[in-house]
A = this chain, B = another copy of it.
């Protein structure tokens, strides 16, 4: 089926749309300066992200009921404040720091790329982030989403199939009328398994200077792009 039949482009967000690592490090540094606490904030940010998949796995396996990512992030944050030996942080301060994930900036190509895609395609998130996280991030960063799909609407975490399929169903589209754009091979392979079209965008610095994963497309994806402007060009925008 030609790519011209695509009606909606859905996006993984953390890493693909926004630079979570530098954003989280920035807010951790500000927090440290305000509280007069020193720590290896880069290591803290990487450790926070390292707890991301394990925290969702318990929900995916049904070992705990549905809980949104903000709450998983907060549990991980409390764990890490202990592990890094940072005491005396109030609940309000933890809540604010946890919302660093709401204050992430997009990669430089994202806003101009989405502006080109917006007139022709429905643009939606397909993230494991909860709705309020996606909405607050979009308001701050100017991300022009037409709909917030993904984990919370489906009450489950990617790569579970029903997350992708619920998104397509809510748009009243067949899966092959939807594309997932992601910087992560595993996400795209899962979406392709449900009939989605796929667009890989390489983000070689998502995990910092020593990144070793997702440096290239490892699957037979419909589009492989250098950034969102290249993606828009390849989709005829």
Residues 151-179 of A, flagged 1 when their CB comes within 8 A of B and 0 if not, give 01100000000000000001111000000
Contact B138 A146 (CB under 8 A): yes
- Please state if A135 and B122 are interface contacts (CB–CB under 8 Å): yes
B residues near A131, Cβ cutoff 8 Å: 147, 170-172
Report A11 CB to chain B, min CB distance, Å: 15
Q: How many A residues are at the interface, by size bracket?
A: 10 to 19
Chain B neighbourhood of A147, CB < 8 A: 131, 135, 147-148
Q: List B contacts of A170 (CB < 8 A).
A: 130-132, 152
Contact status B139-A172, CB under 8 Å: no
Give residues of chain A (45-70) contacting chain B, Cβ–Cβ below 8 Å. 70
Contact pick for A132, options B70, B132, B152, B171, CB 8 Å: B171
Residues of B within 8 A of A145 (CB): 146
Q: In the complex, what residue of chain B is closest to A145 when comparing beta carbons?
A: B146
- In the complex, chain B residues whose CB is within 8 Å of the CB of A130: 170, 172
Report Cα–Cα, A23/B130, bound state, in Å: 35
CA distance A170 to B147 in the complex (A): 13
Q: Is the CB of A172 within 8 A of B122?
A: no
The 8 A CB mask of A128-147 against B (1 = contact, 0 = none) is 00111001001100000111
A70 touches B148 (CB 8 A): no
A135 lies within 8 A of B146 (CB): yes
- Alpha-carbon distance between A139 and B124 when the two chains are bound, in angstroms: 12
Complex CA distance for A70 and B139, rounded to whole angstroms:
29
Chain B residues contacting A153 (CB-CB under 8 Å) are 153
Q: In the docked arrangement, what's the CA distance between A62 and B69, Å? A: 32
The distance in angstroms between the C-alpha atoms of A130 and B70, with both chains bound, is 27
Structural contact, A139 and B122, CB atoms closer than 8 A? yes
Q: Could you list 5 examples of A-B contacts with CB < 8 Å?
A: A70-B172, A130-B170, A130-B172, A131-B171, A135-B171
Other contacts beyond A135-B147, A145-B146, A152-B170: 20, CB < 8 A:
A122-B135, A122-B139, A130-B170, A130-B172, A131-B147, A131-B170, A131-B171, A131-B172, A132-B170, A132-B171, A132-B172, A132-B173, A135-B146, A135-B171, A138-B146, A139-B146, A147-B147, A147-B148, A148-B148, A153-B153
